[in-house]
Structure 1
Amino acid sequence: MDERVGDELPPLRPFSLMGPSDPVSPFLFNSPHSGRFYPKSFLAQSQLDAIAIRRSEDFMIDMLFGGVVERGAPLLSAIYPRAYVDVNREPYELEAKMFREPLPGYANSRSIRAVGGLGTVPRIVSEGRTIYSGPIALAEALQRIERVYQPYHEALRQRLAAIHAQFGYAVLVDCHSMPSSARNAAPGIRPDFVIGDRFGASCAPELTDQAVEMLRRRGYCVTRNKPYAGGFITEHYGRPQAGLHVVQVEVNRGLYMDEEAIRLHDGFESVQALVEDLAEALMGVAIAPPVAFDEAAE
């Protein structure tokens, strides 16, 4: 169990940003679901035990991709878990029945994710387990969004903007894990990796092609966009026509961890080496910066 679970002292900021302070690469790696600081007050509200509350966590994905920092790419990762506040959602994607008070007019309570209990402040963790025994105060959810969600996205925007200014384009690799039970749309297929690009809308195809081909050459089962095409971050920040590319990488948890006990197993080091090779392959992709209007007119 990680030492931050149930810790009383809150972190100084709701994210970790490792790597060079100034951009030396057009790549940024992001781990929005690996946060594992579970405040005691939050655990006291929950009806789940210390293992069950972590079922939605992308366990140690920040460590799995940590080698990218040595290759000159920064790594942004969440400190708080997605069970507390999910930064891979719209800012106010909230489920109405979760709260004691009515939602504000700007909240999106009709999205599939919110209705299903997986909004910005979720009602459930993976496997449909309910976090709370009853409704919670709306003010608490809004506070989590203000103190955790908004600073996270501000850091993400600032870093992408700095990279874009330096190189003329920026590439965000959004890093996740998926349950080993996850299946593709095709019967019987359980992928080792899923590469998501919103069906070609979020990044240059060279990035997706490189990831899929490299992993398949190593003998892994890889699918594109099914069952995960990319969440809010991929959709919101992925604007290749403006030189902002986002590709999502989902790693099968069974490759590197014991999902029942929430701990790493002997496969971790080999998978860590593999994703470092994947990162290197992606960072070797040459992407042309977007053509400015005046250049295209000549």
Structure 2
Amino acid sequence: MTTDIVTVTRGPSPLILSMPHPGTGLPPEVHAALNETGRAVPDTDWHMCELYAFAERFQPTIVEAGLSRYVIDLNRDPSGASLYPGQATTELVPTTTFDGEPIWTTPPDEAEIARRREAYFQPYHDALATEIARARAAHGWCLLWDCHSIKSEIPRLFPGTLPTLNLGTNSGRSCAPAVETAAIAAMADHDLTQIANGRFKGGWITRHYGRPHENVHAIQMEIALSAYLSEEAPPWRFDATRARPLQGALESVIAAALAAAMVQTVGLG
């Protein structure tokens, strides 16, 4: 398990892939405080880099977290405010799995959470903000694509089975309307279950960095793990054959969003 906080793989294009939850790393003090369930880090966004390997053609910058979301969730409001008031969710530092199972032997107190914000949350966001500013300075615009995945059935969080593709734009506020329209249209061309701004409208990353009036367009894509894993259970194996249609869909949606964002930027010029 890596304990790197963040790894940046810099590319020359205006596309940034944010990967806040693929990490399984646990600093020693966090590992010691977790119970057996927590140490298994079941709510990881498994194999993000492998899933998005197709994106090499876009020459993106990739900002990837190395630590588990159980250390601190990089896609939650650092103030602790809920992104989905009135709905079940997990906290800035989760107290349970998505299924509601306790994960701590010694839960972190407020002082420990504050320490983790400084030590582990802030470095990721410093790196992400730097890359967004760099891409925008180089191109005049940026497309931030926030990469996520989750089990397709979690009764505590949503009823029934989650669609394969869950596109979120904070209900149209995190990117220009033309970018959202292009992405949704491209998504509809593929025979995969899908929804825009359903249960997952975009987390803190999408909401915080998406500033279409400044030519920073942010889209979150939440994917059902069933679309690219052999099974949604340990050892969480990547299934290349199963993933192929999903990768084709993601490639076309990203391409459409990039094209629309470029035109939108020219239009604002």
Please confirm whether the aligned pair reaches a TM-score higher than 0.5, indicating the same fold: yes
Q: State the Cα distance separating 1:50 from its structure 2 match.
A: 6.6
Question: Among residues 161, 165, 169, which one is paired with 1:193 in the alignment?
Answer: 165
Aligned to 2:53: 66
Aligned positions, number? 264
Q: State the Cα distance separating 1:274 from its structure 2 match.
A: 4.1
Question: Among residues 225, 231, 250, which one is paired with 2:197 in the alignment?
Answer: 225
Aligned alpha-carbon RMSD (Å): 3.0
Aligned to 1:275: 250
SS at match of 1:84: coil
Q: Unaligned 5+ residue runs, structure 1?
A: 94-107
For 1:19, give the aligned amino acid.
Answer: R
Q: State the Cα distance separating 1:117 from its structure 2 match.
A: 7.0
Question: Among residues 207, 221, 233, which one is paired with 1:260 in the alignment?
Answer: 233
Q: State the Cα distance separating 1:165 from its structure 2 match.
A: 1.3
Aligned pair in 2 of structure 1 residues 126, 145: CA closer, same or farther (>3 Å)? same
SS at match of 2:187: helix
Aligned pair in 2 of structure 1 residues 145, 69: CA closer, same or farther (>3 Å)? farther
In 2, distance between residues paired with 1:242 and 1:265? 37
Question: Among residues 213, 216, 221, which one is paired with 1:249 in the alignment?
Answer: 221
In 2, distance between residues paired with 1:135 and 1:50? 11
- After superposition, give the CA deviation of every residue in 1:100-154 in whole Å (9 maximum; x if it has no partner): xxxxxxxx5x776799672222211210111113443433322221111111111
Aligned pair in 2 of structure 1 residues 56, 16: CA closer, same or farther (>3 Å)? same
SS at match of 1:128: coil
Task: Name the TM-score, length of structure 2 as normaliser.
Answer: 0.85
1:132 aligns with 2:123: no
Aligned to 1:48: 36
Aligned to 1:153: 125
Q: State the Cα distance separating 1:76 from its structure 2 match.
A: 0.8
Bigger CA drift: 200-209 or 61-70? 61-70
SS at match of 2:263: coil
Q: Structure 1 vs Structure 2: percent identity of aligned residues?
A: 26
Map 1:75-154; keep pairs closer than 5 Å. Answer: 75-93=62-80, 118-154=90-126
1:16 aligns with 2:23: no
- After superposition, give the CA deviation of every residue in 1:131-181 in whole Å (9 maximum; x if it has no partner): 113443433322221111111111111111111112222110111112212
In 1, distance between residues paired with 2:89 and 2:105? 14
Aligned pair in 2 of structure 1 residues 237, 114: CA closer, same or farther (>3 Å)? farther
In 2, distance between residues paired with 1:165 and 1:182? 41
Bigger CA drift: 84-93 or 111-120? 111-120
Q: Unaligned 5+ residue runs, structure 2?
A: none
1:179 aligns with 2:131: no
Q: State the Cα distance separating 1:88 from its structure 2 match.
A: 0.8
Aligned pair in 2 of structure 1 residues 113, 139: CA closer, same or farther (>3 Å)? farther
- After superposition, give the CA deviation of every residue in 1:226-273 in whole Å (9 maximum; x if it has no partner): 011011111111111121110111111111112122412432355345
Q: Based on CA coordinates, which of the two structures has the bigger radius of gyration?
A: 1
Task: Name the TM-score, length of structure 1 as normaliser.
Answer: 0.77
Aligned to 1:39: 27
Bigger CA drift: 54-63 or 194-203? 54-63
Q: State the Cα distance separating 1:199 from its structure 2 match.
A: 1.0
Aligned pair in 2 of structure 1 residues 111, 163: CA closer, same or farther (>3 Å)? closer
SS at match of 2:70: coil
